[in-house]
Structure 1
Amino acid sequence: MNTSNMDRCLRAALLGIGLALIGAPAIAQDAPVEDAAAPVTESAAAVEPPPPEVQAPSLEQAYQREFAFLQGQKADLERRLAELQDRMGAEQSELEAEIRALEAEVVEMGGEADRLEDRVFESELAVDTARENTDVLASTFLQADFSLAEAYSPDLGDRAPAAEDVSGLFDAALGVLRDAGSIRVEDGEFFLIDGARVDGRIVEIGGIAAYGVSPRGSGVLAPAGDGGLKLWNEDTAEVAEALAAGRAPDSLPIFIFESTATEVEKKGTKGLFDVIRSGGVIGWIIFYLGLLGLALVVLRVVFLQRASASTSKILDAVSGHVRRGDASAALDVLKRKKGSTSRVVSAAIRNLDRDREHLEDIVSEAILHESSHLNRFGAFIMVIAAVSPLLGLLGTVTGMISTFDVITEFGTGDPKLLSGGISIALVTTELGLIVAIPMLVFGNLLSGWAEGIKDDMEKAALRVINQYYEGRARGVESA
């Protein structure tokens, strides 16, 4: 029990005792008054004397007795509380020891469970490994049944392969390898280049190459499908005959094949139109754009060649007339000339009487007027260079869409079905780049050439102007 609670209980008890003691004397004083009012008999007064008055305990004594009682109660409660705490401490120690023992047992059981899980995992791994080994052996024997059917064909049934079965399999495989590494000459039949079947001798070099010898044709053999062979090259007849006779030729042309189940066909080289045809409609569009661009490049080269070649000739023809100040003679010479340079120089000569600044502006205007002729077809060439790769990209997207449509309908089992869309996707990109790269190069080169011709025309006009002023200055000096 808490000390504060005991103090409150003690104060409450003392207060009750005090109130009781305060009320007791009042009752004792009232009693004699009632007794005095009652009639008293003479015999009673004579026989019995009045009892002695009991002295009431004082309030302090009552407090002391009550305090002593409460002190005893407090000591008893403290003793019981101490006994209870000792008993609880002992029980708590026992419980803690039991908990520690249980925790140790749990840890030990957890370790044992982990060990058991490891053993289970190792057992499962061993089972999986054994199952995989069994599957490998089964697939190996299945492959041997197809590859070594004549040399080794085990009949295992439902039982697993035993050690003697594996040993027999390897012995048979070694025998097949020895036969495959040898050169054998056997009688057989094969097809000629024209498709005729002939009988003859076949020289087999292992299982990867063969030579045929017959009176109608000899040479290297290639797979013809369904286990047959066909003549691949008649120029190797001497080599085949030498091998059949047991002689070693100087050189050994050979056609190596993996299996004779599928026919091998000669692939011809694709021409330009075959490549374009494999690109579809977009491939033909790119091809015609390339032809148009090539024609424009040739025309532009012709125009620029004429314009650049006439500059020096025009200056040589009019220089003497300009120095003498004979503008009409120079103009007559220029009328017989054609080209942008002659027109620019004519504009300068017709305005020689104007001031220098105005004359230079006239020359610049004439050059700007001739720029449209010099820049002819340049924009079209650059457009073709920009559009061609975009068309190639369009063909790529179209081909991939076609490929995915085929995959959706037929799956991916047959690669030949996918070749059409992939061919369009790749060929159009190739054609677009083939057209775009030269057009871009020639377009920029021809644009630079045109700018150089414009500079030459400006120089020629300024040269004529300077010659005119030089000639007029010498005439003034001589006068």
Structure 2
Amino acid sequence: MNGATLRSLLLGLAVLLPAFDHLHAEDAASLDELLTLIKKAELNESSEQLEREAAFRRAKTEQAELLKQAKAELVAEERRSETLEKTFAENELKVAALREQLQTRLGSLREMFGHLTAAAGDTRTNLKNSLVSAQYPDRTDFLDDMIERMSGDTRLPSLTEIEQLWYEINREMIEGGRVVSFPATVVTAEGERVQQQVVRIGVFNLLSNGAYLHYPPGTDMVTELPRQPGRDYRKAAQQLQAAKDGFTRTGIDPTGPSGGSLLSALIDSPGWLERWHQGGWIGYLITALGVISLLLAGWRFAVLSAISRRVTAQLNNSKANTGNPLGRVLKVGEDHRGADAESLELKLHEQVLKERPAIEAGLGLLKIIAMVAPLMGLLGTVTGMIVTFQAITLFGTGDPKTMAGGISAALVTTVLGLCVAIPTVLLHALINSPAQRVLHILEEQSAGIVAEQTGV
């Protein structure tokens, strides 16, 4: 069996399979009926094949028609593309000619419009960063459109726009020398939006209800500074807002037109309490020593003042009073009046030595505090510098402000140590003076008693 015969057989089986399926659906009662059913199935199959062939021919005809239409559209689009390319080239030549004509007609004005574009750009930047824009927020809108058109060489600015630019430049200059009040929406430090009167001091500062305000560029919002200057400045700001005319003394930031860096630096600098906390636990210990020295000095000054008054009163009284150091020394002299000079001197010297600790109590501790406080301050500075250099090792020196802040915090303990040591030294000198005066009187009176006994 060759390949052609095999293909014919397979094709016949493929044709008869539907007929067999149909015969299986209908059971034949006899051979005649079976033959009739087979013939009927062949006829049905032939009609179906004819219908399929007709459908295939119609689809082929339609596809051929669609292909013909697509080829025609392709030819039309190619012709249209050629026309558009030709038109584009002609338009490019026209644009180049018009542009050359524009440059020729501009002549010397071309340089002027270049300067005008630069001036408009600088003015737009200055106006957006100016505090005057808090009062007139929409005055730069025309500049955006003007600069965009001038940069694109599509249209020249009109005379009205040039005059408006000139007007805004002059208004900025005039408003920079005025102090005015205007209503505005202020964002408080708590984040609330409040409508209130705002006082503008030229282009330097904005004030409202005694608080200094900030106008961040590009936000179009007036915000209250989270930290305010000192109470005197806030009080002066309130006086300025309440003033009707005349001159009112008020603090302003001279760097306001350039961003207000001075005011920001002042309000961001830590206060004395924050500086004290920067000293850490060493700073707290130094402060505790300072408090102890003040209390000790106050107590000893009061005690020595009372002792000095009693000793002075004893000097004016011939009768010994044991309620003061001099009286007790005189009492010893009276009790040993008949003793020899050497024994009497020893007894008096012994009594003076007994009185000395009570008179000089606390002076040694004050001296120790005066010496230890600077050493503790130096210890805090050294440890703080170690921490700072460790941070530099980890993060580098890219931010000098961070490094300077760490060094500043490290030096706080040195300042605290000196602030404790210097007053403590002065207090020691102040208290030591009456103590030495009392001791000098005791020794002087002892020597006088011995001299009197010996008849010298």
User: TM-score, normalised to structure 1's length?
Assistant: 0.48
For the residue of structure 2 that corresponds to 1:430, the secondary structure is: helix
In 1, Cα distance between the equivalents of 2:348 and 2:300? 24
8 Å contact 2:373–2:417 — kept in the other structure?
A: yes
Instruction: Report which stretch shifted further, 263-272 or 300-309.
Output: 263-272
**Given the alignment, which residue of 183, 189, 205 partners 2:185?**
189
**Equivalent position of 1:377 in the other structure:** 362
**Equivalent position of 2:172 in the other structure:** 180
**Equivalent position of 1:288 in the other structure:** 288
**Equivalent position of 1:422 in the other structure:** 407
In 2, Cα distance between the equivalents of 1:182 and 1:296? 64
**Equivalent position of 2:393 in the other structure:** 408
8 Å contact 1:401–1:421 — kept in the other structure?
A: no
In 2, Cα distance between the equivalents of 1:376 and 1:410? 52
* Corresponding position: 1:229 with 2:222: yes
Q: Give the letter aligned to residue 147 of structure 1.
A: T
Please list every run of 5 or more consecutive structure 2 residues that lacks an aligned counterpart in the other structure: 1-117, 129-139, 152-162, 226-233
* Corresponding position: 1:249 with 2:234: no
Q: Give the letter aligned to residue 181 of structure 1.
A: M
**Equivalent position of 1:43 in the other structure:** none
Q: Percent identity?
A: 27
**Equivalent position of 2:344 in the other structure:** 359
8 Å contact 1:227–1:260 — kept in the other structure?
A: no
- Change in 2 beyond 3 A, CA 1:299/1:179: same
Residues 351-409 of structure 1 deviation map (CA, whole Å, 9 limit, x = unaligned):
22123344234323332343233222211111110111111122222222222233333
For the residue of structure 1 that corresponds to 2:245, the secondary structure is: coil
The offset of 1:461, in angstroms, is 3.0
- Change in 2 beyond 3 A, CA 1:200/1:221: same
Residues 158-188 of structure 1 deviation map (CA, whole Å, 9 limit, x = unaligned):
xxxxxxxxxxxxx999887534312299886
The offset of 1:435, in angstroms, is 0.9
In 1, Cα distance between the equivalents of 2:444 and 2:251? 71
8 Å contact 2:369–2:424 — kept in the other structure?
A: yes
Alignment of 1:29-428 (within 5 A): 144=122, 147=125, 151=143, 178-183=170-175, 189-191=185-187, 195-198=191-194, 207-210=203-206, 222-223=213-214, 225=216, 226-230=219-223, 249-251=245-247, 253=250, 255-256=252-253, 257-258=256-257, 267=267, 273-315=273-315, 317=317, 319=318, 334=321, 337-414=322-399, 417-418=402-403, 421-428=406-413
Residues 225-277 of structure 1 deviation map (CA, whole Å, 9 limit, x = unaligned):
445213686986896699xxxxx832365754346799969959977654432
For the residue of structure 1 that corresponds to 2:406, the secondary structure is: helix
Instruction: Report which stretch shifted further, 414-423 or 367-376.
Output: 414-423
Residues 93-113 of structure 1 deviation map (CA, whole Å, 9 limit, x = unaligned):
xxxxxxxxxxxxxxxxxxxxx
**Equivalent position of 1:431 in the other structure:** 416
8 Å contact 1:187–1:202 — kept in the other structure?
A: yes
User: TM-score, normalised to structure 2's length?
Assistant: 0.50
For the residue of structure 1 that corresponds to 2:288, the secondary structure is: helix
Number of residue pairs aligned between Structure 1 and Structure 2: 295
**Equivalent position of 2:67 in the other structure:** none
- Change in 2 beyond 3 A, CA 1:408/1:221: same
In 2, Cα distance between the equivalents of 1:238 and 1:349? 76
For the residue of structure 2 that corresponds to 1:181, the secondary structure is: helix
In 2, Cα distance between the equivalents of 1:220 and 1:300? 47
Alignment of 1:444-459 (within 5 A): 444-459=429-444
In 1, Cα distance between the equivalents of 2:298 and 2:242? 58
In 2, Cα distance between the equivalents of 1:376 and 1:234? 49
In 2, Cα distance between the equivalents of 1:210 and 1:383? 53
For the residue of structure 1 that corresponds to 2:247, the secondary structure is: coil
Q: Give the letter aligned to residue 191 of structure 1.
A: V
Q: Give the letter aligned to residue 394 of structure 2.
A: E
Residues 394-447 of structure 1 deviation map (CA, whole Å, 9 limit, x = unaligned):
222222222223333334455664465334323212211111111112223333
Q: Which has the larger radius of gyration?
A: 1
Please list every run of 5 or more consecutive structure 1 residues that lacks an aligned counterpart in the other structure: 1-139, 158-170, 213-217, 243-247, 321-332, 474-479
Residues 64-102 of structure 1 deviation map (CA, whole Å, 9 limit, x = unaligned):
xxxxxxxxxxxxxxxxxxxxxxxxxxxxxxxxxxxxxxx
In 1, Cα distance between the equivalents of 2:197 and 2:273? 43
For the residue of structure 2 that corresponds to 1:386, the secondary structure is: helix
- Change in 2 beyond 3 A, CA 1:237/1:438: closer
Instruction: Report which stretch shifted further, 434-443 or 371-380.
Output: 371-380
